[in-house]
Amino acid sequence: MNKNKKPLFSFRKSSQDVSDTPCTDRREFLAKSGKLALGASAIVVGGGLFSPNSFAAKKIGENANATLLKLARDIYPHDTLEDKYYVQVMSPMADAAEKDAELFKLLAEGVTLLDKTSVDKYGVPYSQIKTEQERVIVLKMLEPTPFFQKIKGALMMGIYNNPEIWPRFGFGGSAWEKGGYINRGYDAVDWL
């Protein structure tokens, strides 16, 4: 353990009171708790969509869990977006799958089909296909399936309806509440 690190809370004896009182301010607390939350989210993001100790993660398997995250990134590939944005969309679906046997079956059988198609085409499971172009070929083969359409629909709504990401796409958000786009950036669009 690093002895140079300060604890989240420290206690000191108050001269007026014999009880222990915390001696941390709000700013310090928020900074430290933010680092802890970031570290915890990195652990979850690194493992896939289902939380590692959940029933669904154990049942679907570690490889399938990671495959779902890779699939999500390949359906809507944005190299500048971190995994957390894909996980924000897919995690509610994973949580729902823990309670909904039909959804869980759709995800589990979809990942199995995805890997089988990948093995038939390239000799390796989907997550081990090296190039994005080869993975896209596999995805096009599965595009008509309910599994693919379910993931695609959730991602489309979850990623492109996320105001936190809009600035990264050059979208300023809804304009009607601000008087519309005329004289407010409509003529500044550089990507059309």
C-alpha to C-alpha distance for 142 and 175, rounded to whole angstroms: 37
Query: What pLDDT shows up at residue 171?
Result: 81
Residues 6+ apart with CB under 8 A from 93: 49, 103, 107, 150, 151, 154
Q: Which of the given ranges, 27-36, 122-131, 176-185, has the highest pLDDT on average?
A: 122-131
More confident residue, 37 or 93: 93
More confident residue, 6 or 83: 83
Kindly state the percentage of the chain with pLDDT values over 70: 61
How confident is the model over 13-57, as pLDDT tens digits? 444 544 444 455 555 545 554 444 433 333 333 445 555 455 555
The mean pLDDT of 129-145, rounded to a whole number, is 95
C-alpha to C-alpha distance for 171 and 189, rounded to whole angstroms: 9
C-alpha to C-alpha distance for 127 and 70, rounded to whole angstroms: 7
Domain boundaries, the chain: 58-162
More confident residue, 175 or 186: 175
Query: What pLDDT shows up at residue 88?
Result: 87
- Is the per-residue pLDDT at 179 higher than 60? yes
Kindly state the percentage of the chain with pLDDT values over 90: 37
